Chains A and B, each alone.
Chain A
């Protein structure tokens, strides 16, 4: 009984993204940047040093018309649980200053900006390129600083940042719940900005351990897969696609190897 209770308390927030629904409109990226005060450059043409906590990739099946097919794949931080799901994510285990942390209560990988000293080892460790370095100090167009979210600290030059699954929203929801005398929050009380902004309803977010949340069942779908599962990073972002080539693009396979 005690074990059951403790299991119930441990949350594992995650995402299920239906790639068959995603149109690649980019609303999720915009919402993410606005919600999290993500800085941008005057010239964003050089993408290798642009900060995009949530990035949409365009995948193609490499075939020509009429068999050509494309798929848009939104990629937030995968909030990896690491080998055996013990919280030793590729990035968390390598950070020398404990500036990135695996929250055992929520399964969310955080980034402590004030502790990061910018060695970028976590970026080298992340196979998803989900971590970004602040090569410049953030500069906002005149007046825009008034529109920044007060719930998320802006980051300075020289530190790494990444998607936090809008952790501040979780904190606000928990604060509200505690104020109202509750210990738990409802599924709808904590949703990420990208999830809410998706016009196609392609992104579902919730507690992967909670059978009452949509993601609990969605992740069991026969078309569900995660990126680079073979590396045993144990991501908390699942993808759905009815197309075999898309599912196969999620991982590396040897030539002639069957999935």
Chain B
């Protein structure tokens, strides 16, 4: 039925099967939309947030998807600025994943604020001292860049490409893509960093606070670094999931391994910096505020020292070792394990830097406060996943996302 829209030389599932798949994802999406509307019309009393947890699941989701969407800017940087030509075979997908991540982050932010209709105040009444102001500006600009990077892909659809204007527009946009890749890398450096600064500047919260250089706490640099390190792993992870779901090979192993190798070295250097940061914080910064390291990891039902070990050792050191060794990259099981651990590591880091910061009591006569999200928070957090599945499915079906697909899956 829709064969005229499907790229030449590739095979796609029957329309009914595709419709069923989209329908299932759409049902989840509608559940999320319902929860979103509840939050907008009834207010944030629909959540389990409270005055101790002003920041909770949504802010974590925002930070996590932005970190994982970092694969777009870093892969673009490697492809267009550093000149790693092989990455042209995965850059389209990295851009698409980044587009989904950033649009999701903006949507979650729109649900998360108490007065969504006043969201524009962040630009109009901007406070230059606030990390969130920088996040808002750079995030919005970078989302614009990602849109510009995604548009040429849409223009490559078989039917759209037939229109001479769109054909030339797409071609010309491809020609200048390096400029946007550089702009994206520049903007990403700042907003990834600013997101790190969100907790790093909180000098009233000893768990999150870090010293730094000029106005930037060390978390500013660590966040940018970790996003560049773990973002590509997320791109690889989603590529592998897509290959599993479609039952096809979509990207050659040498491309995956190159990205994994670079990611491995980035994770390795990041984790060394993170260990130094943690050690300095535990030995100097926190004690100056009257806290021992174990004060942050004891006397509560959830946050034990295990979470620090999980973040740094299991999800940091281990994937770094695997991905930097050729043997590790060549072993599919080890490669996938490392990829998943690296993605998990970024998520755990963002979790502790949002939720544990809120949980740790600062006044001596207050106690740890635990939090679990309401179904409305969960549904609105799953909403972007369903949206991502739908957009990836549509893009995969109708756009030539994977340049190597035809070669890897010759028609018999």
Contact = CB atoms under 8 A, between A and B. Distances in A.
Q: Do A and B come from one complex?
A: yes
Interface of A: 46, 48-50, 57, 59, 73, 83, 88, 90, 93-99, 115-121, 123-129, 131-137, 156-160, 227-228, 230-233, 249-255, 257
B54 A117 contact: no
Contacts of B290: 230, 251-254, 257
Nearest to B122: A96
B369 interface: yes
Contacts of A131: 51, 54
A254 B206 CA distance: 13
A151 B184 CA distance: 49
B204 interface: yes
Contacts of B114: 116-120, 133-134, 157-160
Contacts of A136: 43, 45
A160 B45 CA distance: 14
A135 B204 CA distance: 24
Given A95-B130, A117-B121, A129 B202 contact: no
B125 A115 contact: yes
A123 to B, nearest CB: 3
A120 B54 contact: yes
A19 B317 CA distance: 51
A134 B115 CA distance: 11
Contacts of B289: 230-231, 252
A126 B52 CA distance: 10
B90 interface: no
A43 to B, nearest CB: 12
Interface of B: 43-45, 49-52, 54-55, 112-116, 118-119, 121-122, 124-127, 129-133, 136, 198-199, 201-206, 287-292, 295, 357-358, 362-366, 369
Label chain A's interface by main secondary structure.
Answer: loop
Contacts of A257: 290
Contacts of A118: 44, 113-115, 118
Nearest to B357: A124
Contacts of B55: 120-121, 123-124
Contacts of B50: 46, 48-49, 135
Q: Which 4 A-B pairs have the closest CB atoms?
A: A118-B114, A158-B114, A252-B290, A120-B54
Contact of B204 (A46, A231, A249, A253): A231
B54 A98 contact: no
B130 A116 contact: no
Given A115-B121, A253-B290, 14 more contacts: A96-B132, A97-B125, A116-B114, A119-B113, A119-B122, A121-B55, A121-B132, A124-B357, A124-B358, A159-B115, A231-B204, A231-B206, A252-B295, A252-B362
